[in-house]
Amino acid sequence: MALRFEILGRFNRARAAKLTLPHFVCETPLFMPVGTQGTIKGLTTSQLEEIGCHIILGNTYHLALRPTSELIHEMGGLHKFMNWPRALLTDSGGFQMVSLLHLADITEKGVTFQSPVDGKPMLLTPEESIQIQNRIGADIIMALDDVVKTTITGPRIEEAMYRTLRWIDRCIAAHKRPHEQNLFGIVQGGLDPVLRDICVRGLVDRNLPGYAIGGLAGGEDKDSFWRVVAQCTAALPEDKPRYVMGVGYPLDIVVCSALGADMYDCVYPTRTARFGTALIPEGVLKLKHQAMANDTRPIDPTCECTVCKKYSRAYIHCLATKEAMGSILISYHNLYYMMKLSRDLHSSIVDGRFPEFVCTFLQKMFPKGDVPQWVCNAMEAAGIDISSCCTPPDTNHANDVTRPDNNTSDCPKEESNEVL
Amino acid sequence: MNFSVKALSNGGGRAGLLQVGSCSFETPALLITTRKGLPTFISPDMLSSLPTPDCRLLQFSPLHLLESISMKTISEIGGLHQMLGLQEHVFAAVPRDGIISLPDYQSANKTGASFETPCGRLLIKPVQYMEMISSMKPNMWSTLADEVPAWVSEKRNKTSVDRTLRWLDDCIKSPFAKNTGGAVFGSIVGGSRIDERKRCALEVAKRDVSGFCIGGFGLGESMDERPALLNAITECLPEDKPRQICGLGLPEEVLQGVAAGIDLFDSSYIYHLTLGGFALTFGSEGIAKHGSEDRLTDSCGDGTKINLKATIYRKDASPILEGCKCYTCQKHTKAYLNHLFNTHEMLAHILLEIHNAHHYLGFFRMIREAINRGKFNEFRQKFVATRRDYIIGAASSA
Ligand SMILES: [Zn+2]
Ligand SMILES: [Zn+2]
């Protein structure tokens, strides 16, 4: 085990912790931006430090293809290769194969797929995934799991869950750098509480440094989503970090944190930036919208990032989706927003004002008091009283602001890597 | 704006001091070409990692903003500097940028100049141009020109001079002109005709302008005919006003311009290099360490630029240029840049534009130093010869 996880504060199920990894001391709850190919699109590593990013994700599948894990190893590991002094996390690569490659096939041996280089069939085994991740050298590496779509039902879910459990032992056995890299197991089991329970217990028995809740954010309904998170966080050990994979909407992060999750990743903030959408407390701001052309306010008047300090919506409107600088500036703001959200979650839990933070957050996002039912349900389970923000206050609803679709966790396949 | 010539060197070349507000710049200088006011890839915070004050001279085309934001909104925001968050920077407005706003002489007519832009073809009339200038309030702005390529007929070339002179008067006399707060640079055209170039320069010099913007270069004329044209123009211009040029980008072209007494250049060359994955590496030692031109000669052996996409850099753990003080060379290896280019990552262009801009600003510093030492001619000849030798050497060994 190459991490320390110290809980600094709690509010019911929510916790704020100090997560000490080989390369950085992180604070949770924590959003981790996705840097698929060894870079967060459009931002320098200095900017990422300035924004306050603690951990960056790399995608094993993409890195193994280019520049290859051997090359990264030869260059001294991914930290050195991309010159990122803070923490890194790599996924197993299996998810990308299943979601990006049509001809991927999962057998007991591993994931068989057609090589995108020469079209030949290739096999990614749990051992190989770990070997590649050992070469890349991230602080946290992920076990290869049998990934199935959340919307699938029937015996395939059960098969995938048991296979994930069998593969974890192969991953543990193959892991050559347990004192420098932390292997996280992934809880599978679809939306079935019985299967999830078996999987959690199986993984906890292995005493891993941390655990991820997988197979979510794939289009399931929000009530199922939070219930799975709530079930898993309740059953996972208190003293280990819990990572909900592929979750990235601010609202989802607040809800999951209330339920006791600690870490999140998603390409949403940076991808949506490239399409001209900025994250703001009220929801999202579509900077391409014609109304922005004459709006001299900053993206978010309450944001303290350099983009909001310097630029008007009107100017960003000129750049959005047209110029590289549009992506750069909106990505900067969006990641700043996500990291600020992480810091606010952390400090409000430590300072014992988590419910107030949640209520303020919800009030801004739902000024009419129309907090979605699933959020109310989840908060009730989390023991957070949000009744004050469910009564409509007498304010005008800003009509230039829209919210992302919060009815489903539609951070689908592409949300765990970012290539385009 | 204030300008004074501080030193003249043999073989042409003048070193000057350009003062704009509280900023002063030594010339010859590079204006960093922008896209809608910001560098293409270098964000404002990274821009400040480039040498100061050199990095504060920016060139922009008002036409870039025409389609997406109203002039009223720009005025409301407080003009260009405020809108771009670059209050400390100096902006020189030129309608043509050499990248995405190109003169389209066939569609120009007596009422205005035409440009090919990403928003399609735009016909810009003097009054409309002046409205843009008065809303944006750049520190310097050049008047609207009817730029024509080298191959047009004598008649068309003459028309271009006539129109450019008329539009100059239209711009200066426009009611918006009082409101700009910026220094006027009179545009000079005349194509490849020495007589027309002279006529235009002499006429513009009679007007109440603070500087000159020489247009119509880089539009099909040959390198060989350029010195005579440039000299013909600068001979007609007063010594004490700055001269800006558009369309000369390559190091040899810049040296040609400097030799003829040009003070300000644009950086569209860097943009094209960066897009192609090329990193400038010439005169590395000299630029990195303030060295003399002897060192330039020594280190030119490795060529003038490298292509970071080349397979040989796959595992190259060294920076683009040993000794370079730019952000990119301080932080990243060729191997990483090679990977970023291979995977089409935006960071590739960001990091490379930083290095190239840093490097080219360094090249201009070396030019200034050579002029100040009275050795510009030697500097130029050595530079050109070394580069030529390298190209010949590379060709014969290939
Ligand atoms: Zn901001
Ligand atoms: Zn450099």
Identify the domain containing residue B298 by its residue range: 273-397
The interaxial angle of helices B376-397 and B346-372, nearest 10 deg, is 140
Domain total in chain B = 2
Could you read off the pLDDT of A162-183 as tens digits, one per residue?
999 999 999 999 999 999 999 9
At A322-362, the pLDDT tens digits run 999 999 999 999 999 999 999 999 999 999 999 999 999 99
Q: Which range, of A121-135, A222-236, B162-176, B283-297, averages the lowest pLDDT?
A: B283-297
Q: Is A95 annotated as a binding residue?
A: yes
Chain B residues touching residue A67 (CB < 8 angstroms): 314, 335, 338-339, 342
Q: For residues A284 and A277, is the Cβ–Cβ distance under 8 A?
A: yes
Do both B187 and B330 map to the same domain? no
**Chain A residues touching chain B at CB-CB below 8 Å:** 37-39, 41-47, 50, 62, 66-67, 71, 74-75, 81-83, 293-294, 296, 306, 309-312, 314-315, 317-319, 322-325, 327-329, 332, 419
The answer to whether the annotation marks B324 as part of a ligand binding site is yes
Considering only CA atoms, give the Rg of chain B.
21
Residues B252, B312 share a domain: no
- Domain check: are B391 and B261 in the same one? no
Alpha carbons B102 and A303: distance in angstroms, whole number: 38
pLDDT of residue B284: 45
Tell me if B1 is assigned to some domain: no
Q: Give the nearest partner residue to B332 out of A50, A83, A306, using CB atoms.
A: A83
**Domains and their CATH numbers in chain A:** 4-267 (3.20.20.105), 274-389 (no CATH)
- State whether the Cα torsion B31-B37-B39-B44 is positive or negative: positive
How far is the centre of ligand 2, averaged over its atoms, from the C-alpha of B265 (Å)? 21
Claim to verify: residue B210 and residue B283 sit in the same structural domain = no
Asked if residue B201 and residue B300 are part of one domain, the reply reads no
Alpha helical stretches, state H, B48-139 = 71-77, 80-84, 126-136
The yes-or-no verdict on residue B262 having pLDDT over 70 is: yes
Residue B186 lies in a domain: yes
In a domain? residue B10: no
Contact state of B335 with A81 under an 8 Å Cβ cutoff: yes
Residue B16 lies in a domain: no
Q: Are residues B260 and B322 in the same domain?
A: no
Biggest CA-to-CA distance, chain A: 63
Let me know the angle formed at the C-alpha of A49 by A43 and A55, rounded to the nearest 5 degrees. 90
* Catalytic residue selected from A139, A146, A252, A265: A265
Report the share of chain A in percent with pLDDT over 70. 92
Domain final position from B218, B247, B266:
B266
Q: Which residue of A has its CA nearest to B43?
A: A325
Residues B123 and B244 in one domain: yes
Same domain flag for B222 and B335: no
Which domain CATH number covers B221? 3.20.20.105
- The residue from B206, B231, B266 where one domain ends is B266
What confidence tens digit (pLDDT) does each residue in B297-349 have?
A: 333 334 789 999 999 999 999 999 999 999 999 999 999 999 999 999 999 99
Cα-flanking dihedrals φ and ψ of residue A13, to 5°?
-85, -20
Residues B188 and B121 both lie in one domain: yes
Q: How confident is the model at residue B143 (pLDDT cuts 50, 70, 90)?
A: very high
The arrangement of strands across the sheet holding A14-20 comes to A4-11, A14-20, A25-28
> Rounded distance, CA A144 to CA A414, Å?
18
Residues B233 and B327 in one domain: no
Nearest to A39 among B83, B333, B347 (CB): B347
Q: Which of A43, A67, A322 lies nearest to residue B314, judging by beta carbons?
A: A67
B176 within domain boundaries: yes
A338 alpha carbon – ligand 1 mean position (Å): 10
Looking at residue B62, what DSSP letter applies? G
Residues in chain A: 420
| pTM (2 d.p.) | 0.95
**B39 contact residues in A (CB cutoff 8 A):** 325
Same domain, B150 and B39: yes
Asked, for residue B248, whether it belongs to a domain, the answer is yes
Tell whether B256 is covered by a domain: yes
What burial class does residue A247 get, using C-beta atoms within 10 Å of its C-beta: 0-12 exposed, 13-18 middle, 19+ buried? buried
Residue B301 resides in a domain: yes
Residues B292 and B327 in one domain: yes
Out of B238, B266, B294, a domain closes at: B266
